[in-house]
Amino acid sequence: MFLYLTHTKPIMTMPRHYQRIKLPYYLNELEPIISFKTMYYHYDILHKNYEEKLNEVVWGLKLEEQFPTLEKLMENLEQLSEKIKDDVRFFGGGLINHNFFFAHLAKFKTRSEDYWAEKIINPALLVIIEKKFTNLEKLKKELLESALKMRGSGWTWLILNRKRELEIINTANQDGPWSLHCRPLIAIDVWEHAYYLDYGAKRKEYVEKLINHLLNWEYINEIFLNYTVPLNA
């Protein structure tokens, strides 16, 4: 089987303080849900472009001294100058959204919907899921419905909001929950570049398969447990 390594040394003269993640899987390991070709364009070209463009925008401004992480940068967009704010919102949003999206996917195994079984999900997380959505099937249904309502390009998220409650939201373009001072648990990329090569206009099929087969619940459990610091008011 052909494997494509993505961890090559980047060619760029300027330092990249804000970086894209290294994938925890090979580009072909999300198949057949997401193809190698889609992952190549999505990660190696588009995601790399967000990384390069953001670092070009902030080059020489020493923003990393005030905002040492990408999360801190995106949480504090309103502190940026008008000259760079829109570019940071778009390119920084593209970088952080995709970092989260790729990190919370797992390489495909022969999974059925049993992957959503209660034993997989942290009991504390399961309690608040059932409190908000009644059960996991209802959560899946509402995620799908929200993703299908998105007009144009954007994202569907399951977040912990500032009240520490679960909520499903949509954000346009490359906006994300960090600038709303919320924390993501699930991200569904509904830009056409995320699925069109594999599914054409069948967004519903893409979302259903991603939710049922590629979410890495071990990772989602981990980040849920790390959300212990009170969210900004």
Render pLDDT for 33-55 as a digit per residue (tens, 0 to 9).
Answer: 999 999 999 999 999 999 999 99
Residue 59 has pLDDT above 80, yes or no: yes
Render pLDDT for 157-216 as a digit per residue (tens, 0 to 9).
Answer: 999 998 889 999 999 999 999 999 999 999 999 999 999 999 999 999 999 999 988 999
Residue 126 has pLDDT above 70, yes or no: yes
CATH topology of domain 119-226: minor pseudopilin epsh fold (3.55.40)
Mean predicted confidence (pLDDT) in 68-93? 96
Q: What is the CATH number of domain 36-103?
A: 1.10.287
Counting residues of the chain whose pLDDT is more than 70, the rounded percentage is 86
Alpha carbon distance 220, 105 (integer Å):
9
Alpha carbon distance 111, 208 (integer Å):
13
Contacts 24+ apart (CB under 8 A), 150-156: 150/190, 153/190, 153/191, 153/192, 154/190, 154/191, 155/97, 155/187, 155/188, 155/189, 155/190, 156/187, 156/188, 156/190, 156/207
Domain ranges in the chain? Answer: 36-103, 119-226
Identify the pLDDT of residue 182.
94
112 and 97 in contact (C-beta within 8 Å)?
Answer: no
50 and 94 in contact (C-beta within 8 Å)?
Answer: yes
Average pLDDT, the chain: 88
State how far the alpha carbon of 42 is from the alpha carbons of 90, 92, 182, in Å: 16, 16, 25
What is the number of alpha carbons within 13 Å of residue 192 lying toward its C-beta?
7
